[in-house]
Amino acid sequence: MHEWSLACQLVREAEAEAERRNAVKVFGVTVSIGQLTGIVPELLTRAYDMARMGTLLEDAALEVEIESVKGRCAECGRESFIQGFGLMCPECGALGLEVLSGDDILLTKMDLEVREKPFRGRGGVHV
């Protein structure tokens, strides 16, 4: 179950990003999973629910978006969306499509509460 390794990596990356942005709370994170990766969204979510415990992401819900597989045919030059793993051009039947999308595992969005930088400009009057 490599989803566990990925969930741990997701928590590490998202926590580091949250800290870089001075976040005090994370409400949600979104990942995009390419269909060619074979990652099972339900398993990733279950693994994430364990991995986020005791971290800055403890209350952050995970949203998983699926990235479709798109390929470009070297023979006919057409770009097509593909179902499954077979990289065959649906237009002309040529094999070995160049993959344009569908094999990434990306952290794409975070919903954060961020601490503002202390004001250093003019007019610092407390009301």
Partner 1 sequence: MCETCGCGLPEEAKHTHGDHDHTHREEARLYKNLLDANEAQARENRQHLMEHGIFAVNLMSSPGAGKTSFIESVAKAVKGKLRVGVIEGDLATDLDADRIRALELPVHQITTGSTCHLDAAMVHEALHQLPLADLDLLFVENVGNLVCPGLYDLGCHLNGILLSVTEGDDKVAKYPVVFRQAQFFCVTKIDLLPHVTFDSSRPRREARILKGDLKTFACSAKTSEGMGEVLAYLAAEREALLH
Contact present, 8 and 51 (Cβ < 8 Å): yes
Contact between 58 and partner 1 per CB under 8 A: no
Contact between 68 and partner 1 per CB under 8 A: no
Which CB, 79 or 105, lies closer to partner 1? 105
Rg of the chain's alpha carbons, rounded to an integer? Answer: 20
Q: Which of residues 10-49 bind partner 1 (CB under 8 A)?
A: 10, 13, 17, 21, 24, 27, 31, 36-39
Main-chain dihedrals φ then ψ at residue 65, nearest 5 degrees: -105, 145
> What separation in angstroms does the CA of 24 have from each of 17, 59, 108?
12, 12, 19
Residues at the contact surface with partner 1, assessed by CB under 8 A? 1-2, 5-6, 9-10, 13, 17, 21, 24, 27, 31, 36-39, 84-88, 95-96, 104-116, 118-119, 121-127
